Structure 1
Amino acid sequence: MDTLGISGYPDRLSVQPGESVKIMVSTKSPSFRATMVRVVHGDADPRGPGIKEQVVESDVNKEYPGRYQTLPVGSYVTVPDHGALRPDGSFTITAWIAPTTVPGSKLNPVAYRRTPAGTGAVQGIVTKWSEKEQAGYGMFVDQDGGLGLRLADRSGRAHTVSSGVKLKPWAPALRGVEPGGVVRPQHVNSSGWYFAAVSYDAGTGKVGLYQYPLTGHPNDSEAVVTRTIEARGLKNAAAPLLIAAYQGGQDRPAGFYNGKIDAPRVYDRALDEQEIRALRRGGPAERAVAAFDFSQKMDTDQVVDTSRNRLHGRAVNLPVRAVTGHNWQADEQDFKLAPKQYGAMYFHDDDLGDAAWEPGFTWKVPADARSGVYAAKLEAGGNVYHATFVVRPKHGKPASKVALLVPTFSYLAYGMTGGLTSGMSQYSRHSDGSGVVYSSHLRPLTNLRPYASGPRGESRPWQFEADTHITDWLESTGHTVDYITDHDLHREGTKLLDDYKVVITGSHPEYTSEPMLDALQSWLNDGGRLMYLGGNGFYWVTPLDRTGAYTELRRHDGTEAWQGAPGEHYHSTTGEYGGLWRFRGRPPQQLVGVGFTAQGFGSRLGTGTYSRPLDRSPQSHDPRAAWVFDGVKATGPIGDFDSLQSQGGPMGEELDRADYALGTADNTIVLGSGTGFGDEYLFVKEENNTANLMEGGTVNWLVRGDVTLTRYPRGGAVFSASSISWAGSLFYNNYDNDIATITENVLDAFAADRPLPGAG
């Protein structure tokens, strides 16, 4: 984040006139300037209209003192300090653990490169230790990769004991075949579980460390260490009990653990080896002062203590829940049907939920504010950052019969891509190689802003920047449009859509929830008209948590950035099955007539031709469809000019096709297709049952993009552009081109209070 000079985020992605939005800001500069703007176009590519923003007069437009705020990455569980967690001296800690970043282990290629033997950071497992006080006790992964015990005796002297035997990590990723061995996040190894225990007898100074692999083969790293140390009594710490971390020197969690933890327990006495072996065999947690069951309340951040003390805790920074535990039998895939086999939580040292920054200022949206994309434009030391959000119309008071559905779920999925070390997107891989499941809006989203592709648009516009190709076309051609978000639609459903005759999508609305699909389907059946101006939409099952702060993904069986683990394909937030909507029986073709079929990427400004023009179909001359092409000048390929998205035409990057077997309606007319792609365009993985040589665009006829028109009952309809590059083609010749003409024809006809041309 420091490379940006200044960054920030709003506390809400959608706000109404009259409501307030807090803007969180971080900069090392002594001061910064804020200006509220309405963003019309956010792509700085000099071939296009450039950055276009309208200043909003406000008393918050001024200088503010700068404040540097960091991102508190690392997930853990915190339990408030309590007398029951301050034993008189003796204690025992037990837990099932599956570490993933054991220092120096070659079993995890990511961890091995990151933490060579002897230099790895100590990782807290279950700790009541304060580095600042040099007091307390805890169980750790030590810097050499073995099980560790740390305590302070009554004199305040600190003691550290290690098992001396390196733990073997669970490997959540494989080395890939790409140059440099890029990691493939695929969970394949389940033999990394250990029953771990440490004990201390404060009367004798005897300590015990017990490191039992769940399976003896191929894991030979069992260790039992007992010895007497020069310690008596225990100096307790005022720190909270932390799981997957310990309290660092600045009274903040540190030493974050990577991997799974299951059934952590604390006892206020020293258990002997026989008792510990009984617990390993599944014995009850009798007389434990704390016994945490992560299988309860998995859709929340609450952590339940089942002991008599009820020392409930809170999960911080979104550790992954609804993951398989040490006792998963592989006979059940749905955690709801076997919750006791899902008693683990998966922690990462780079998880982030809520950055929890202090606000720089608060803006109250004027009562007469026009709906649109807004941002707090933040400037410091010659750097600019836009903290972006949407001003929607007031409930029940639309200003237009046309709405732009801003794909905020997709913005969250991609929100931290681009190589900035400022957090994770749902395309990222954690430091241990596993994929990122959750994405929160309570942090800077570096892609959700103008200039995200560079000060001169040097890289490919994606998501937000690409969507401003649509917003500028709407504004420049005089269309009044309301702006609503995925979050609004998820919460309000058809009640929100019923205000509109037409809804327009963004360029890549890939991530959608069940309530969103239900609302769109119902609205279309009731006469709504949808303009799907993108490609690869309505693809991934994407629930929103109950607080509305973060989305969740369980990727599998799709064209994907990572692959979820066996037994972990159900979402913790809602309990629903994840993956592609097509494998839930709701392929995109059923909703919009087309679905994802191919993708290909090249240099945005390179010499290759990566996108293609549109070839009109014979069916498009049918009176039911011919009106779409009114005013089109081309007699051959349509849109044979560069898109701001990529070279070559409007059909490119990610493409959809009609397929009647997958649910395309019988009345759907394929207006035209983009074909003739090279082998840099590949057929989607989910339709490829075997490895073969028929994946590229030169040999596979399914590598194409179909522009379609589908009619729904009661005058409803869907126009599908079926290409991410479509929106980037609108601007050519200052919006005087055939792609803009087609899109304008559809919008005018869809917005009219009459049947579509050729109907009946």
Structure 2
Amino acid sequence: MHAVDPTRLDLCREFRDNPIGRHSPDLQKLVKLLRWERIESRYLLVQPRRGDPWFLAHTTGPKAHALEIFRDHGFPDLPSAYWALFKARWEANTDERLVLDGVDDPVIPRPGEGDLTLNASDRPILSYSDVFSTEPGGRVEFKVSAEGDAPYHAEIVRLRCGDGTPEGPAFHETPVESAVTGDYPARAQTIDVGSYIDVGQPDAFELESFTLQAYVWPTTPGKGEQAILANWDEDAKHGFALVIDEEGGAALYLGDGKDNFILGTGVPLLERQWYLLTASFDGATRQAWIGQRPLVQLPHGDTTASGASGVDLSPVRGPGLRIAAWAGDGGRYNGKIDSPVVGNRALSTGARDAVMAHAVPADLSDALVARWDFSQEMSGTRIVDVSGNGHDGATVNLPTRAMKGWNWDGTEYNWARKPEHYGAIHFHDDDLYDCGWATDFAFEVPRDLKSGIYCAKMTRGDHEDYCPFVVRPPLGTATAPLALLLPTASYWAYADRHSEVEWRERENVTGYWAALDPSALYLHEHPELGCSLYDEHADGSGVCYTSRLRPILNMQPKEKLWQFAADTHITDWLEAKGIDYDVITEDDLDAHGYELLRPYKCVMTGTHPEYPSLRMQEAYETFKNEGGRFIYFGGNGFYWRVSYHPDLPGVLEMRRAEDGIRSWLADGGEYYHSFTGELGGMWRRMGRAPQSVAGTGMAAQGFDYSCPYERTEASHDPRAAFIFDGIGDDEKIGDFGVLGGGAAGWEVDRADTALGTPPHALTVATATDFTHAYHWVKEELTHTHSANTGETSPMVRSDMVFYETPKGGAVFSTSSIAWAAALSHNDYDNNVSRISENVIRRFCDPAPI
């Protein structure tokens, strides 16, 4: 039933002649089958450098796994590359050569015939800044890692348009005269990736005898050595540590700097099962013991195990204690740890037997060196030692807190109400908060510098790297009646996304084939840059923290038209139309609330403001109720709830709880944010559907074609006359555009009074001519069925909405990500541009609406 029919060569001809679509129903079925290939072994496309041909490649696994690239045949454009990829997948499924009309073109290479590599990408310059948004008189520090010996050149530019595609408006930047301009010496800066707890204090843990205990829930026990409790220097091989060893079982490491001793159970731990691990060493008798006791002993394949041995050495002073890591290379742990304890004596034989029999920690109350309670101060980075000895620690690289512990029993799902059941921390070997790079140069922002989007631009030869930042007016002031609110929370949510390779469903979700552009390829080969909120960690758990304090490759000009680059279509158009504007950010909005918006007559969003915090939502509501004019200039906005860290700058949290279109699922019982205690997930599930913010909310997504709007009867209401000034009654609105050839597309929203669209709102235009690739959002389905696509469901549409708000305010929503990409068509002389200008100029007019 799920096999490819090798006799249907007619479908192959159809795809060859029209690789983009639209496709017949039978070809749609075939394509969907071909898109179910395994992540560990499938063909995809790669482009090692911008402007290079596309090449077929074959995967061997997720990020950090080598790709086999077939460089003998390059493809000049995506349509020809898609045909090659289709052909490769078809042949892999049928085990036959696909020969049409006697021609085998292109000839598909087989695995083993290409170059297996993790060095295909070329990105010698990387950068990030300490702040993203600043004001005149502020300072922005830039941290750069540049390979090789040759210097690089740096300058500050003002960015008008960051679209680097030939189809879009011309890329436009303007140099800014500043002291930054000049050449800088290259230096490579490293990244210490992986989370752990640093306790340090080597004096306190210089113990002649000791016991180490912790509950653990390992997620990759077979990946190699991983530290649990370690006063261990891996390079010098001295100290002691409780670890998971190369065999995947619990082990005790001892070392004196000359020799080291390993005592392991020899029995691999099972993934995602709770264990009590215990290690003990008696310095007087030189007797060592290790034990692993699953909390649930399985009737088949029990992994209970222990071991004892005499030791010919005594461990010497270690470098200080770490949890989930050791000092030196490697050793980073994947999984949960709960209730770790260090005691200053060994266990008796009876105590060891009791641990193994009952899975209850030994009583070390008379010998406590440290006992850490991870359920305390859950929102911060401090790790509290409750022994009374003051050996507190601090988290490094943001391990995930507020996670179910060994004793969670399902009686409470909110950690704040029963923190003792959430005493686990989940560590990941690819967690990253701040690269911690040194500053290479800084920009002192002139007090007369105009608000806008700027970049530090680094170049060397034909290599370049951009580090964007925003200059906003001082808080409480405005230099224009209009503010463009950049959706920076969404930028950080998507930062350095790996889903082109790792999300198996992605091709069937998006409707296009996996194609790694230079940035996506570099990220695949360099997982040390961290993950996005759309990714899974290396151990398969979802990523719920993201940080901007690292190089973010997909948030630069000339990148894929998504988020940041797409939002510069708006600044480009505003400049072309001579409309004065300030630029502000969602980071600023979460920090300052309504006070940021108060000076403006009109605020407009970017193309995809998907991730608001509670404070943002409250600011929008106050702004509208106080007479502000609000323009929702995108699609799929106001969808997921995020929280900013209370102490650490540049960090967001999001838990993908309870429904919604999502690339991973939060585990039951882990829906509440650790930063704030707020329930995570969709705003709709919390009584604040997107329709309550701007009149429309997420209806569908699809990424093959966009389509035009058509005016409705409500568009002729005198209240909406200003919107359609200069627009014909039967004129198709936006039957053009850079994204999919139309103004309604990619992700689109609809009105619904049951979800919060005001009853007096006017739906003045709607777009409905979507393809099968667009699917009605799953959170609205009460049952699974097939009538849920752009071709079969009336719920798949994009509604343009207008309504008035108190005190002379108003809201206008375009409800489409693709809208802004149509603004520049015909040199900005088109009906999408005309409607946008009509609305903005009226909304900036102080006369009440």
**Fold-level similarity (TM above 0.5):** yes
Of 680, 690, 693 in structure 2, the residue corresponding to residue 591 of structure 1 is 693
Give the alignment of 1:299-698 within 5 angstroms.
299-417=379-497, 418-419=520-521, 420=523, 421=526, 422-453=529-560, 461-547=561-647, 548-556=649-657, 557-602=659-704, 610-633=705-728, 635-641=730-736, 643-647=737-741, 649-698=742-791
1:391-431 C-alpha deviation (Å, 9 max, x unpaired): 10122331111100011100000111235133211111111
Seen in structure 2, the aligned counterparts of structure 1 residues 200 and 397 have a Cα distance that, compared at 3 Å, is: same
Conserved? CA contact 1:90–1:233, under 8 Å: no
Match of 1:11 in 2: 130
Give the alignment of 1:15-94 within 5 angstroms.
15-30=134-149, 31-87=151-207, 89-94=208-213
Q: Distance in 1 between matches of 2:307 and 2:819?
A: 68
Percent identity reads 42
Of 268, 273, 285 in structure 1, the residue corresponding to residue 344 of structure 2 is 268
* Alignment-mate amino acid for residue 695 of structure 1: N
Match of 1:733 in 2: 826
Match of 1:97 in 2: 216
Of 225, 238, 253 in structure 1, the residue corresponding to residue 306 of structure 2 is 225
Q: Distance in 1 between matches of 2:182 and 2:131?
A: 22
Conserved? CA contact 2:229–2:323, under 8 Å: yes
1:162-204 C-alpha deviation (Å, 9 max, x unpaired): 110010001xxxxxxxxxxxxxxxxxxxxx1111111111222
* Alignment-mate amino acid for residue 523 of structure 1: F
1:212-231 C-alpha deviation (Å, 9 max, x unpaired): 11111367443332322332
Conserved? CA contact 1:710–1:719, under 8 Å: yes
* Alignment-mate amino acid for residue 723 of structure 2: V
Question: Which is worse superposed, 538-547 or 46-55?
Answer: 46-55
3-state DSSP of counterpart to 2:617: helix
* Alignment-mate amino acid for residue 411 of structure 1: Y
Q: Deviation of residue 248 (structure 1)?
A: 1.2
Seen in structure 2, the aligned counterparts of structure 1 residues 584 and 15 have a Cα distance that, compared at 3 Å, is: same
Q: Distance in 2 between matches of 1:750 and 1:199?
A: 72
Match of 2:251 in 1: 148
* Alignment-mate amino acid for residue 33 of structure 1: H
3-state DSSP of counterpart to 2:214: strand
Q: Distance in 2 between matches of 1:34 and 1:139?
A: 48
Q: Deviation of residue 273 (structure 1)?
A: 4.9
Q: Distance in 2 between matches of 1:319 and 1:581?
A: 25
3-state DSSP of counterpart to 1:50: coil
Of 372, 375, 379 in structure 2, the residue corresponding to residue 292 of structure 1 is 372
Conserved? CA contact 2:295–2:359, under 8 Å: no
Give the alignment of 1:702-721 within 5 angstroms.
702-721=795-814
Any unmatched runs of 5+ in structure 2? 1-118, 498-519
Seen in structure 2, the aligned counterparts of structure 1 residues 214 and 491 have a Cα distance that, compared at 3 Å, is: same
Conserved? CA contact 2:153–2:184, under 8 Å: yes
Q: Distance in 2 between matches of 1:338 and 1:231?
A: 46
Match of 2:294 in 1: 213
3-state DSSP of counterpart to 1:627: coil
* Structure with more relative contact order (C-alpha pairs < 8 Å, separation 6 or more): 1
Conserved? CA contact 1:204–1:228, under 8 Å: no
3-state DSSP of counterpart to 2:812: strand
3-state DSSP of counterpart to 1:222: coil
Q: Deviation of residue 633 (structure 1)?
A: 4.5
Q: Deviation of residue 462 (structure 1)?
A: 0.2
Q: Deviation of residue 121 (structure 1)?
A: 2.6
1:29-85 C-alpha deviation (Å, 9 max, x unpaired): 321110101111101111222221110001110000011112221001001224221
* Alignment-mate amino acid for residue 385 of structure 1: D
| TM superposition score normalised by structure 1 | 0.90
1:634-669 C-alpha deviation (Å, 9 max, x unpaired): 73422112x22222x111111110001111101110
Conserved? CA contact 1:323–1:568, under 8 Å: yes
3-state DSSP of counterpart to 1:600: strand
- RMSD (CA atoms): 1.6
2:376 is aligned with 1:281: no
1:301-357 C-alpha deviation (Å, 9 max, x unpaired): 111111121101110001000010010001211001110010000000000001000
Match of 2:238 in 1: 135
* Alignment-mate amino acid for residue 632 of structure 1: I
Seen in structure 2, the aligned counterparts of structure 1 residues 369 and 219 have a Cα distance that, compared at 3 Å, is: farther
* Alignment-mate amino acid for residue 553 of structure 2: T
Conserved? CA contact 1:592–1:710, under 8 Å: no
Conserved? CA contact 1:206–1:226, under 8 Å: no
| TM superposition score normalised by structure 2 | 0.80
Q: Deviation of residue 480 (structure 1)?
A: 1.1
3-state DSSP of counterpart to 1:398: coil
Q: Distance in 1 between matches of 2:576 and 2:637?
A: 26
* Alignment-mate amino acid for residue 126 of structure 2: S
Q: Distance in 2 between matches of 1:720 and 1:295?
A: 44
Conserved? CA contact 2:762–2:802, under 8 Å: yes
Seen in structure 2, the aligned counterparts of structure 1 residues 246 and 381 have a Cα distance that, compared at 3 Å, is: farther
Seen in structure 2, the aligned counterparts of structure 1 residues 236 and 323 have a Cα distance that, compared at 3 Å, is: same
Q: Distance in 1 between matches of 2:403 and 2:290?
A: 27
Q: Deviation of residue 687 (structure 1)?
A: 1.0
3-state DSSP of counterpart to 1:469: helix
Seen in structure 2, the aligned counterparts of structure 1 residues 86 and 221 have a Cα distance that, compared at 3 Å, is: farther
* Alignment-mate amino acid for residue 40 of structure 1: R
Seen in structure 2, the aligned counterparts of structure 1 residues 255 and 560 have a Cα distance that, compared at 3 Å, is: same
Q: Deviation of residue 476 (structure 1)?
A: 1.1
Q: Distance in 1 between matches of 2:710 and 2:373?
A: 59
2:283 is aligned with 1:202: yes
Conserved? CA contact 1:503–1:529, under 8 Å: yes
Seen in structure 2, the aligned counterparts of structure 1 residues 218 and 684 have a Cα distance that, compared at 3 Å, is: farther
Conserved? CA contact 1:633–1:738, under 8 Å: no
Seen in structure 2, the aligned counterparts of structure 1 residues 274 and 590 have a Cα distance that, compared at 3 Å, is: farther
1:581-619 C-alpha deviation (Å, 9 max, x unpaired): 0111111111111100111122xxxxxxx1110011011
3-state DSSP of counterpart to 2:674: coil
Conserved? CA contact 1:168–1:221, under 8 Å: no
Match of 1:124 in 2: 227
Conserved? CA contact 1:90–1:234, under 8 Å: no
Seen in structure 2, the aligned counterparts of structure 1 residues 732 and 219 have a Cα distance that, compared at 3 Å, is: farther
Question: Which is worse superposed, 8-17 or 202-211?
Answer: 202-211
Q: Distance in 2 between matches of 1:488 and 1:129?
A: 43
